[in-house]
Amino acid sequence: MWPAHTGRRQPPWDSGCTLGAALSTTANHHTRTRTRPPRMNHRPDTAAETSANHLLPPCLLTLSDGQKIRVRSTVPADYAAISQLIQDNFSRSENYAELSAAARTAYLEANSLSGVREVCEHQDNVVSLVAIAEATKSTVGFALYRRSRHLLTGEEVAEGKRLQVSLAHKSKGLGNQLLTVVRHLLRSQGFTKVVGYTSGASFSLFEQGFQ
């Protein structure tokens, strides 16, 4: 559960961030915490307008090995690198060899450049973040959440759609810190419940991030 609010909450990173614009994965329904639907006074009419709303000022994270990671809102110039990150992770995942050729093809198509563009420009996205390594300027993380409805209760919730951390940056705290930024942004928009459709090893990371 999220802790109760006790006054003004400070962002838990090096430089100040305020609001967000859109996270990952795929299949089993899972929920955490109580809920109250957020009040949104303005609903964007276009994908371009959505991507311009709730932009996150860049914030700097420090990993356990000292690496600095810059987190900011995604922009169209990030789509190719995000697609490459997801496909690289997929090709080296533990269950890759167990999937059928059709399943592999479907996943790769969903996370192609056009697939990433489609998911990042959805009008219901509320948080969309990319993590960039300061030293190499490479894309090492991606998180996207979308306004949705609970499958059972119909309540308005934030749904995790994408969560990716490069294999070279796993077990260094990037996933947890990225989810801390996500939680802050969702709270700032009034969300108090999240749902996830996740599978594989990413499920435990997603679950840990919203306890």
Per-residue 3-state assignment (H helix, E strand, C coil) for the chain: CCCCCCCCCCCCCCCCCCCCCCCECCCEEEEECCCCCCCCCCCCCCHHHHHHCCCCCCEEEECCCCCEEEEEECCHHHHHHHHHHHHHHHHCCCCHHHCCHHHHHHHHHHCCHHHHHHHHCCCCEEEEEEEEECCCCCEEEEEEEEEEECCCCCCEEEEEEEEEECHHHCCCCHHHHHHHHHHHHHHHCCCCCEEEEECCCHHHHHHHHCC
Residue 52's pLDDT is 32
pTM: 0.72
Residue 48's pLDDT is 39
Residue 135's pLDDT is 96
Average pLDDT of every residue of the chain:
76
Residue 119's pLDDT is 95
Residue 9's pLDDT is 47
Residues of the chain with pLDDT under 50: 1-10, 12, 15-53, 207-211
Residue 198's pLDDT is 59
Residue 201's pLDDT is 52
Residue 14's pLDDT is 52
Residue 94's pLDDT is 83
Residue 78's pLDDT is 98
